[in-house]
Amino acid sequence: MNDESEYKNGRRKESRAFCFARLKFVADIKAHKILNGVIVNRSDSGMEIFSYIPLSENQKVTIISPPYLSQKTFIVKWIRKYLDDFFMIGLKSDT
């Protein structure tokens, strides 16, 4: 994440924990299409995920599973394209 407010003295305010968990989420509430991804790391304020679907900055996503994140919403802060259909995405908690 490139948001300077998330860093203190050149380091993150919160530490990130490595996490490798399957993720189901909805990126467009009206479409009701459940998308899949993988959580790579997370903290109290956000997470990084891998997704096969490109998302847009400032897009809101709602988590379906894993259960400990169910119904929480996040905002897309950044996207990095690695392959034609493989993206790393930074999400920040919306709460």
Domains of the chain (ranges; CATH) run 19-93 (2.40.10.220)
**Structure-token match 């993988």, residue found:** 38
pLDDT tens digits, 47-75: 999 999 889 999 999 999 998 888 899 99
- pTM above 0.95? no
Query: What was the pLDDT predicted at 50?
Result: 95
Query: What was the pLDDT predicted at 70?
Result: 87
Q: What one-character-per-residue DSSP string does 19-39 give? A: EEEEEEEES-TTTT-EEEEEE
Amino acid (one-letter) located at 7? Y
Measured in whole angstroms, the distance separating CA 26 from the mean position of its chain's CA atoms is: 12
Query: What was the pLDDT predicted at 12?
Result: 60
- For residue 17, give the 3-state DSSP assignment: strand
Q: Read off the pLDDT of each residue in 21-34 and give the average, rounded to a whole number.
A: 85
